[in-house]
Amino acid sequence: MNAIANFQAASVEDLLSAAQRLRQGIPGDLHEHVVEAIYGDAARIADRAVTRPGAPARPAVDRTIDRIVTSRVWGFPIMLVLFTVVFWVTISGANVPSQMISSVLVDRLYPWLRETAASVGLPWWLRGVLIDGMYLATAWVVSVMLPPMAIFFPLFTLLEDLGYLPRVAFNLDNLFKKAGAHGKQSMSMMMGFGCNAAGVVATRIIDSPRERLLAIITNNFALCNGRWPTQVLMATVFIGCLAPSHLGGLTAAVAVTAVAALGVGMTFLVSWGLSRSVLRGEVSTFSLELPPYRPPRLWQTLYSSLIDRTIFVLWRAVVFALPAGAVIWLFANVRIGGVSLANYAIDWLNPVGVLLGLNGVILLAYIIAIPANEIVIPTVLMLTVMVTGMTGLGHGAGVMFDLRDEATLKTLLQAGGWTTLTAVNLMLFSLLHNPCSTTIYTIYKETGSRRWTVVASLLPLALGVVVCAAVAAVWRWLG
């Protein structure tokens, strides 16, 4: 056996050295010779098989549309308007179903569950962990996230099916090149708008390791599924109300678009900074194919975006919300010397929070929600409820404020010391902070490097701290 193996190894090395020797004798670039031969054959075969009886290469309509949506003048405005419309439809359409779900899950089911639990004689702490903690957190996640997602994802998928996303990539390509990054980064960024972990995996289409790292590190600046609801809710409650009521929804939509655009801006800025410091190198060229516009199949799109994205993301959120709910309840109810753990943590985090224009509750919520961004908002709300003592959770009263009334929500948050600055900075911080645990793990798997994983995790967080602190300082100085 060994002799055979040795013989094989020897013959392989012979083969490789022969290849090396022969390579020296080849004039020019072998790769080019081969490619030329392949292209020649492909052209010949295609020519024999394809006939186009007097038809243009591409239909005129396609080209006309492309000329407009990728034009220098109209490309960017059309992009912004389209995305604003998508957000606006999401924001104004999500209200009614949100109310309905919340009225069932929180107003009806929740008191009933508490009573039932009490009547079967569960001890108060078990009731607290199960119902006030786990159930309530999950009910929040579902009623806050399901409606916006059920509207946003199908709309986004329609844009995708139609073939608009590659046009966005085309518009952004030039900017990426100027930032020293690969044009294909716009594609992985688009995936990131759905899920950053998926976006990081999508960077595999980039050949050069340098440009791929840029794409991985900056992917977190694309707002993901888990963070859209935070943006939408904050914009609705705090920004929308700054405008006259009939313009509220639109104002909120513009605010969300602005944050998303800021994320894209950050992608360029950070790519630019890195490609001029630690990740210096050549920019690769590539050809971007603009696929034909295809009429989307409405029902299939609705179905697949509902199953693939909405239910998938919601399920993930619920899975994380269950244990998080228990943790939150325990945090708020385990007391040392008459003060709850949550209060200790919040008091301790508060000075930092205030410096950033946020507060201790929000920072604690971000720490609890590291496993999944989806539960930041429910966590913030639950902690606020418990800390401000607006309800007697754990003491039996248990009337949860309901989401139906934005004014109530606002009253609650204001009782927790919230201002417009808090909301604005929460939106900014939600854009600029460490990726979720899944994404961090994916980055580690894709780069295989601890160092770059740490960079990709902490760089956005550092940026978030700087930006929030700066906004808070300027805000207070002006105000």
Partner 1 sequence: MNTSASTSLSTTAAPPSKVCADCQVYRAARLKKLGVAVDKWDYIVALAGNPNTGKSTVFNALTGLRQHTGNWPGKTVTRAEGGFEYAGRRFKLVDLPGTYSLLSTSVDEQVARDFILFGRPDVTVIVVDATRLERNLNLALQVLEITDRAVVCVNLIDEARRHGVQVDDRQLARDLGVPAVPTSARHGEGLPALLEAVSEVASGRLICRPHRLAAEPPAIRDAVRELRARIQAAYPHLPNVRWLALRLLGGDEHIAEALRRGEFAGLETESRLEAADASDAQPQLTVP
Closest CA to 219 of 247, 187, 254: 187
Q: Which two tokens stand for residue 188?
A: 């992985």
- Rg over alpha carbons for the chain, rounded to the nearest Å, is 27
Alpha helices in 389-447 (DSSP H): 406-415, 420-431, 437-447
Instruction: Tell me how far, at minimum, the Cβ of 391 lies from partner 1, in Å.
Output: 41
Q: Rounded to an integer, what distance in angstroms lies between the CA atom of residue 246 and that of residue 257?
A: 19
Nearest residue (CB) to partner 1, 202 versus 362:
202
Which residues, listed in sequence order, are joined to residue 336 by a DSSP beta bridge?
A: 339
Nearest distance from C-beta of residue 348 to partner 1, angstroms: 43
Dihedral sign for Cα 25, 31, 35, 38, please. Answer: positive
Of 333, 314, 317, 316, the residue nearest 133 (C-alpha)? 333
Look up residue 285 and give its two tokens.
Answer: 């060229």
Q: Does 54 bind partner 1 (CB under 8 A)?
A: yes
Contact positions with partner 1 (CB under 8 A) in 268-297: 289, 291-292, 294, 297
Closer residue to partner 1 in complex, CB, 158/250: 158
* Residue choice 6, 22, 64, 458 for contact with partner 1 (CB under 8 A): 22
Question: Is there binding between residue 1 and partner 1 (CB under 8 A)?
Answer: no
Quote the least distance from Cβ 309 to partner 1, whole Å.
Answer: 8
Pick the binder of partner 1 from 1, 2, 3, 25 (CB under 8 A).
25
Site string for partner 1, 162-201 (x = CB under 8 A): xx-xx--x--------------x--x--x----------x
Q: And the tokens for 299?
A: 């029902």
Query: Between residues 124 and 452, which has the closer beta carbon with respect to partner 1?
Result: 452
> Following DSSP, what letter does each residue of 198-259 receive, concatenated?
HHHHHGGG---HHHHHHHHHHGGGSPPTTTHHHHHHHIIIIIGGGS-GGGHHHHHHHHHHHH
The residues in 380-439 that bind partner 1, with binding defined as CB under 8 A, are none
Q: How many whole angstroms separate alpha carbon 76 and alpha carbon 193?
A: 18
- Check if the beta carbon of residue 201 is closer than 8 Å to that of residue 208: no
Buried b (16+ CB within 10 A) or exposed e, 32-60: eeeeeeeeeeeeeeeeeeeeeeeeeeeee
Q: In whole angstroms, how close is the CB of 361 to partner 1 at the nearest point?
A: 36
Cα-based torsion angle of the residue sequence 79, 81, 83, 88 in order, rounded to the nearest 10 degrees: 180
Question: 335 phi and psi, to 5 degrees?
Answer: -115, 140
Beta carbon nearer to partner 1, 280 or 297:
297
Candidates 146, 202, 260, 376; binder of partner 1 (CB under 8 A) is 202
Listed ranges 29-37, 67-75, 234-242, 373-381: which one lies at the site for partner 1 (CB under 8 A):
29-37
Task: State in angstroms the smallest separation of the CB of 446 from partner 1.
Answer: 9
Dihedral of the alpha carbons of 386, 104, 227, 457, in degrees to the nearest 10: 50
- The sign of the torsion formed by the CA atoms of 250, 252, 258, 264 equals negative
Q: Using CB under 8 A, which of the segments 136-144, 306-314, 349-357, 390-398 binds partner 1?
A: 306-314
Tell me the three state secondary structure of residue 335: strand
Calpha distance 209→446 (Å, rounded): 11
Find the binder of partner 1 among 109, 175, 205, 415 (CB under 8 A): 205
Nearer of residues 282 and 289 to partner 1, judged by Cβ: 289
Which C-beta is closer to partner 1: that of 291 or that of 396? 291
Output 33 or 335, the one with its CB closest to partner 1.
Answer: 33
The piece of 55-63, 121-129, 131-139, 338-346 that touches partner 1 (CB under 8 A) is: 55-63
Question: Least CB distance from residue 222 to partner 1, whole Å?
Answer: 15
Binding of partner 1 by 68 (CB under 8 A): no
Q: Provide the token pair at 49.
A: 């098989």
Under the binding rule (CB under 8 A), the answer on residue 107 touching partner 1 is: no
Amino acid at 2: N
Element holding 250 (H helix, E strand): helix 248-275
Binds partner 1 by CB under 8 A, chosen from 81, 242, 278, 307: 307
**Which position among 1, 3, 49, 120 is part of the footprint of partner 1 (CB under 8 A)?**
49
Looking at 6, 58, 108, 315, which residue binds partner 1 (CB under 8 A)? 58
C-alpha 422: how far from chain center: 21
255 residue type, one letter: A
User: Interface with partner 1 includes 224 (CB under 8 A)?
Assistant: no
Q: Which tokens is 410 given?
A: 């606002």
Stretch that binds partner 1, among 18-26, 141-149, 347-355, 412-420 (CB under 8 A): 18-26
The strand pairing partners of 335, in sequence order, are 340
Site for partner 1 in 119-158 (CB under 8 A): 157
Least separation, in Å, of the C-beta of 278 and partner 1? 22
Q: Taking the complex as a whole, how short is the minimal distance between the CB of residue 208 and partner 1, in angstroms?
A: 8
Task: Give the shortest CB-319-to-partner 1 separation in angstroms.
Answer: 20
Distance CA 472, CA 475 (A): 5
- Using CB under 8 A, pick the residue from 1, 2, 47, 72 that binds partner 1: 47
Among 2, 53, 73, 282, the residue binding partner 1 under the rule CB under 8 A is 53
For residues 361 and 367, give the distance between their C-alpha atoms in angstroms, rounded to a whole number: 10
Q: Is 298 in the site for partner 1 (CB under 8 A)?
A: no
